[in-house]
């Protein structure tokens, strides 16, 4: 027994000795980050040691601390949105604690410099080999959105057609089914397994830091659904100070100018309320919120009632690891509106559908664990559960679907040398759907990916990547996909980057496309379990230039699609099936400018996009795409407390639709170019109190996007936000 | 120049520029509307509808006076037709968008053609096939000396109360 005790003591001493040897050379770096103009501390600045995974964020008093740094020479870079980045070389010697303070000068143009979506890692926007655009929280809040569907189309090249998002014309329209754009919340996928739809009401609009939009194929990193791009919604970190927020809002829809179009004398509008609280208790940060959104809608049966509960928890055990858990639950009931009663009463629903409604609830729960093993190695693991359910209570059916997806992800990031960055990972998704609309099914997806970024020259980065996906539904054929990508970024100057990318992508058919068996009005949709994945190959060359008051992005792109899945009317039986029918090519160009006028406090954003969407099989134009789109946002900062602005959105006339064609003799089913003007005013009279007044469709422009569905009328909204 | 003056200067300019770009959007429409009654089984209250007929639509044909000499020539001059009627509802409202003018309007059944083909075919592609149609009724102007079937449509106006009844034994008056 004595011997054993002795061995234990000796072992403990030995480990202690080894530990001392191993970590004896580690030092820490700490300091403060201040505003150069005001001298005030800056919370939320990111301080990183370039070429490593080591870093920290400054706290409420601007203090940061990076522990366990091996001795050596480092480039310390400090970045913060709205401020010029600074970097400084530091030599960390044998002294155990080093101190370094930074003073940041304010940038005139307040746009995020760091993006995380293009390469599944944090990188400067200028270094990205693919098109990435960003929307900040400010941009969103000013416009009082009920869902992100209201604001994402203010970005160049993005349209949402009755809930179906298109990035550069990727998706077209299939009643929301089978999105070709992946949506992530803090990196966790949020697309339902059953119909591959994005439920906009199930995506957060509160406490967002920014939204990143990858405009191009993302399958080499994100798999199926990312064929046309990725929208990554990034929530704000929990602040260090305790914070409570109360938001009250309301909106009013204008009456149409023609008596016949008015379906009720009652005022039409919306109301919303939100209460949230966040605080930190030691290393633990907690945030919880509740939101109630009610609306009558602007058309008959366009009403909804939504109750939302959301929460987030962050736990940092030490600067090298942190655990984040986030959940979002929504209980929703809304009316159903498929198409108007007739064109003279476009806001009326047909009489037999007047009491149609849909009950639904959705839950997303994701937990992410990040750990830095060494300055050169880090790991991210994520567990995600996504549940969506709906129950139709329609005049002609009471179908339902409940979809569960449990997914696990594991990603390693390694920097073998200062000029190389390796990213690799594994993903597994288990899916289950219980439904009478398309039957009950099980499936799984598994994937592995690897990406290597190398600075082949000091000004040139080359990125190569590959992802292997396996997709299986029930006992049907298992599909396997390999999607490579190649990217090149050349820094032609300090502020100018040229990029080129080539990427293969795919989208596996969703349950709805394979198994739907439904009839609505005269449309009868039948299953097609033989559907195969659709594939694409996309190329892009682009230019990105920025300085402290201006940002310019120009892209020329082209994507070829094979076996595009589309709903097709079978000429034999006139039933609709989803089929792999089309070879297509979408090519185009996109230009966006973002700048602050010299000498004037005016922020201008202009985005123009042109696409040529060709159906190569039939040599026609692809349906539900706009050739030209233009977005202009003008924001004037009148004072520190008041800002105001205007939005203008133009979409050229949609050339081709699939169902109701224009009748040139009678004028029925006419489509027009779309011109929409919006405006907003923000007043911050005292600290913590904000008034946001906004208006959409200011000039009450009448238009349809999807056949026989009138676009939204003028909507004036006021929101009061108080934080304490 | 302070910021408020900048606003006074720039906002109206932007407003006018943006406003100028906004045309009216969808133009006001013309057409007619009314109520259709379908025959019902007096015991069940359900619509009686033969399986041989795939659907029914409201049609308008070019107005001719003297009236058409044959049913086929009437069908050959169809201008447009409505969405299919709901064959489960004994009484229902309908609407048909049409250009301004005078037309002959009635109800026709569809035979030997799937209803979906009628929905999505160009309106003029079916007029060459009178065999697809069977007349079921015609609008009868109340208190008017106008010929049966006459419907007048004014520009940007909706003519109301064009009510019609489905009759499987109906014969066009020409």
Residue range A112-138, pLDDT digits in tens: 778 899 899 988 899 999 999 999 888
Query: Percent of chain A, pLDDT > 70?
Result: 95
Phi, psi of B12, rounded to the nearest 5 degrees? -60, -35
Residue A71 domain-assigned (yes or no): yes
Which of A80, A104, A128 lies at the terminal end of a domain, its last residue?
A104
Q: Which one of A522, A675, A704 has the shortest CB-CB distance to B22?
A: A675
The confidence score (pLDDT) of residue A1 equals 46
> Closest Cα of chain B to A387: distance in Å?
36
Q: Do A52 and A92 fall within a single domain?
A: yes
The confidence score (pLDDT) of residue A414 equals 95
Residue A335 contacts by C-beta under 8 Å, 6 or more apart in sequence?
Answer: A297, A300, A301, A302, A303, A304, A349, A356, A357, A358
Q: Do A60 and A127 fall within a single domain?
A: no
Residue B97 to residue A704, Cβ atoms within 8 A: no
H helix and E strand count, chain A = 4, 42
Q: Which one of B14, B80, B122 has the shortest CB-CB distance to A661?
A: B122
Q: Do A42 and A144 fall within a single domain?
A: no
The number of CA neighbours under 13 Å toward the Cβ of A92 is: 25
Q: Do A52 and A172 fall within a single domain?
A: no
Residue B95 to residue A345, Cβ atoms within 8 A: yes
Confirm or reject contact between B84 and chain A (CB < 8 A): yes
Q: What dihedral angle (degrees, nearest 10) is formed by the CA atoms of A576, A578, A581, A587?
A: 110
The confidence score (pLDDT) of residue A640 equals 85
Number of domains making up chain A: 2
Residue A331 domain-assigned (yes or no): yes
Residue A14 domain-assigned (yes or no): no
Query: Percent of chain A, pLDDT > 90?
Result: 66
Query: At residue A720, does pLDDT exceed 70?
Result: yes
Which of A74, A104, A134 lies at the terminal end of a domain, its last residue?
A104
Residue window 484-523, chain A: list those with CB within 8 Å of chain B.
522-523
Which of A104, A139, A168 lies at the terminal end of a domain, its last residue?
A104
Q: Are A453 and A463 in contact (CB under 8 A)?
A: yes
| Most B-contacting residue of A260, A339, A342 (CB-CB within 10 A), to test interface | A342
- Is pLDDT larger for residue A570 or for residue A284? A284
Across A632-638, average pLDDT: 91
Residue A406 domain-assigned (yes or no): yes
Q: Do A177 and A83 fall within a single domain?
A: no
Where do the domains of chain B lie? 28-165
Which residues in chain A have Cβ-Cβ distances shorter than 8 Å to B14?
634, 646
Q: Name the token pair of A414.
A: 């390694």
Counting one residue from chain A and one from chain B, the pairs whose CB atoms sit within 8 A come to 119
Q: Name the token pair of A210.
A: 């920014």
Which residues in chain A have Cβ-Cβ distances shorter than 8 Å to B99?
665-667
pTM to 2 decimal places: 0.89
Which of the 8 DSSP states describes residue A657? -
Least confident of B23-37, B114-128, B129-143: B114-128
Q: Do A614 and A532 fall within a single domain?
A: yes
Give residue A521's pLDDT band: very low, low, confident or very high (50, 70, 90): low
Least confident of A23-37, A273-287, A390-404, A462-476: A23-37
> Closest Cα of chain A to B24: distance in Å?
6
Q: Do A53 and A142 fall within a single domain?
A: no
- Rounded alpha-carbon distances, angstroms, from residue B78 to A147, B57, B61, B130: 46, 12, 4, 10
Residue A665 to residue B79, Cβ atoms within 8 A: yes
- Interval A478-506: pLDDT, tens: 899 999 999 999 999 889 999 999 999 99
Residue A19 domain-assigned (yes or no): no
Q: Do A394 and A468 fall within a single domain?
A: yes
Q: Do A131 and A66 fall within a single domain?
A: no
> Closest Cα of chain B to A613: distance in Å?
22
The confidence score (pLDDT) of residue A315 equals 93
Region label for A162, one of left (φ > 0), alpha (ψ between -120 and 50) or beta (otherwise): left
Calpha distance B154→B137 (Å, rounded): 23
- Interval A201-257: pLDDT, tens: 989 998 899 999 999 999 999 999 899 999 999 999 998 889 999 999 999 999 998
Tokens 């409420």 correspond to A60
Domain containing A296: what range? 114-723
- Is pLDDT larger for residue A266 or for residue A321? A266
The confidence score (pLDDT) of residue B88 equals 87
Strands A674-683 and A620-621: unpaired
> Closest Cα of chain B to A42: distance in Å?
27
Q: Do A127 and A41 fall within a single domain?
A: no
Give residue A18's pLDDT band: very low, low, confident or very high (50, 70, 90): very low
> Closest Cα of chain B to A180: distance in Å?
26
Residue B120 to residue A602, Cβ atoms within 8 A: no
> Closest Cα of chain B to A343: distance in Å?
8
Q: Could you tell me where the beta strands, DSSP code E, fall in A168-242? A: 182-185, 188-189, 208-214, 230-235
Calpha distance A363→A309 (Å, rounded): 10
Least confident of A22-31, A216-225, B2-11, B135-144: B2-11
- Rounded alpha-carbon distances, angstroms, from residue A719 to A610, A689, B165: 35, 11, 53
Which of helix, strand or coil describes residue A546?
strand
The confidence score (pLDDT) of residue A317 equals 72
Confirm or reject contact between B138 and chain A (CB < 8 A): no
Q: Do A291 and A357 fall within a single domain?
A: yes
The confidence score (pLDDT) of residue A8 equals 53
Give residue A24's pLDDT band: very low, low, confident or very high (50, 70, 90): very low
The confidence score (pLDDT) of residue B144 equals 79
Q: Do A221 and A79 fall within a single domain?
A: no
Which residues in chain A have Cβ-Cβ distances shorter than 8 Å to B3?
601, 636-639
């Amino acid at each position: 027994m004595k011997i054993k005790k002795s061995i234990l003591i000796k072992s403990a001493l030995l480990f202690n000795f080894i530990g001392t040897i191993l970590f004896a050379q580690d030092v820490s770096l700490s300091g403060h980050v201040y505003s150069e103009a005001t001298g005030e501390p800056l919370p939320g600045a990111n301080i990183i040691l370039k070429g490593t995974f080591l870093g920290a964020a400054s706290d409420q008093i601007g203090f940061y601390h990076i522990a366990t740094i091996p001795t050596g020479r480092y480039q310390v870079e400090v970045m913060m949105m709205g401020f010029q980045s600074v970097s400084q070389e530091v030599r960390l010697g044998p002294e155990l604690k080093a101190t370094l303070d930074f003073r940041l000068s304010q940038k005139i143009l307040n746009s995020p410099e760091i993006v995380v979506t293009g390469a599944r890692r944090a990188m400067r926007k200028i270094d990205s080999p693919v098109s990435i655009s960003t929307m900040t929280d400010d941009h969103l809040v000013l416009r009082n959105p009920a869902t992100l569907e209201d604001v994402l189309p203010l970005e160049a090249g993005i349209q949402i057609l009755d809930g179906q998002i298109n990035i550069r014309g990727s998706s077209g329209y299939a009643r929301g089914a089978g999105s070709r754009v992946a949506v992530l919340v803090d990196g966790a996928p949020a697309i339902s397994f059953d119909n591959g739809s994005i439920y906009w009401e199930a995506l957060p609009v509160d406490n967002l830091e920014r939204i990143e939009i990858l405009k191009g194929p993302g399958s080499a990193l994100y798999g199926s659904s990312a064929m046309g791009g990725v929208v990554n919604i990034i929530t704000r970190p929990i602040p260090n100070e305790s914070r409570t927020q109360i938001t009250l809002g309301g909106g009013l829809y204008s009456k149409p100018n023609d008596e016949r179009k008015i379906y009720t004398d009652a005022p039409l509008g919306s109301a919303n309320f939100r209460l949230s609280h966040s605080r930190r208790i030691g290393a633990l940060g907690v945030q919880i919120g509740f939101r109630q959104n009610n609306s009558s809608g602007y058309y008959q049966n366009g009403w909804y009632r939504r109750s939302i509960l959301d929460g987030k928890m962050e736990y940092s055990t030490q600067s090298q690891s942190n655990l984040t858990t986030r959940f979002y639950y929504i209980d929703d009931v809304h009316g159903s509106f498929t198409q108007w009663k007739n064109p003279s009463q476009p806001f009326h629903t047909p009489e037999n559908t007047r009491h149609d409604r849909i009950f639904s609830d959705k839950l997303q729960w994701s937990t992410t664990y990040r750990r830095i093993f060494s300055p050169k190695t880090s790991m991210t693991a994520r567990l995600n559960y996504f549940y969506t359910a709906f129950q139709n209570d329609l005049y002609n059916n009471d179908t339902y679907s409940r979809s569960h997806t449990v997914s696990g992800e594991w990603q390693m990031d390694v920097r073998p040398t200062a000029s190389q960055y390796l990213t690799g990972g594994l993903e597994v998704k288990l899916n289950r759907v219980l439904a009478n609309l398309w039957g009950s099914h099980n499936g799984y997806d598994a994937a592995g990916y690897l990406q290597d970024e190398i600075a082949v020259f000091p000004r040139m980065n080359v990125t190569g990547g590959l992802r292997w996906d396996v997709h299986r539904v029930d006992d049907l054929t298992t599909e396997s996909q390999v999607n490579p990508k190649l990217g090149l970024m050349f820094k032609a100057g300090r502020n100018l980057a040229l990029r080129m990318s080539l990427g293969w992508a795919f989208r596996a058919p969703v349950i709805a496309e394979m198994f739907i068996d439904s009839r609505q009005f005269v449309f009868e949709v039948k299953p097609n379990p033989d559907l195969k994945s659709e594939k694409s190959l996309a190329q892009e060359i682009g230019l990105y230039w920025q300085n402290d008051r201006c940002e310019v992005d120009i892209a020329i792109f082209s994507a070829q699609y094979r076996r595009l899945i589309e709903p097709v009317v079978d000429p034999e039986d006139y039933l609709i099936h989803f089929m792999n029918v089309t070879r297509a090519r979408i090519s185009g160009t996109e230009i966006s400018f973002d700048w602050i006028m010299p000498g004037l406090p005016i922020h201008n954003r202009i985005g123009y996009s042109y696409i040529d969407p060709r159906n190569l099989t039939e040599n026609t134009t692809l349906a539900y795409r706009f050739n030209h789109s233009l977005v202009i946002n003008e924001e004037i900062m009148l004072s520190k407390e008041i800002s105001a602005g205007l939005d203008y959105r133009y979409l050229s006339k949609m050339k081709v639709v699939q169902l109701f064609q224009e009748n040139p003799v009678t004028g029925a089913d006419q489509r027009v170019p779309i011109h929409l003007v919006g405006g907003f005013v923000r007043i911050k009279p005292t600290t913590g109190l904000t008034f946001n007044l906004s208006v959409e469709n200011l000039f009450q422009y009448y238009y349809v996007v999807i056949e026989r569905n009138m676009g939204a009328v003028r909507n004036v909204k006021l929101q009061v936000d108080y934080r304490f | 120049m302070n910021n408020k003056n900048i606003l006074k200067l720039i906002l109206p300019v932007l407003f006018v520029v943006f406003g100028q770009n906004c045309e009216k959007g969808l133009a006001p429409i013309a057409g007619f509307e009314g109520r259709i009654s379908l025959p019902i089984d007096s015991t069940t209250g359900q619509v009686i509808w033969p399986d041989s007929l795939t659907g029914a639509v409201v049609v308008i044909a070019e107005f001719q006076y003297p009236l058409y000499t044959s049913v086929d020539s009437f069908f050959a001059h169809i201008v447009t037709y409505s969405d299919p009627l709901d064959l489960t509802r004994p009484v229902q409202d309908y609407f048909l968008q049409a250009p301004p003018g005078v037309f002959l309007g009635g109800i026709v059944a569809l035979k030997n053609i799937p209803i979906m083909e009628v929905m999505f075919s160009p309106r003029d592609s079916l007029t060459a096939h009178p065999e697809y149609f069977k007349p079921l009724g015609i609008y009868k102007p109340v208190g008017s000396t106008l010929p049966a079937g006459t419907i007048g449509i004014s520009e940007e106006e909706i003519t109301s109360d064009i009510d019609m009844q489905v009759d499987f034994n109906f014969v066009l008056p020409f």
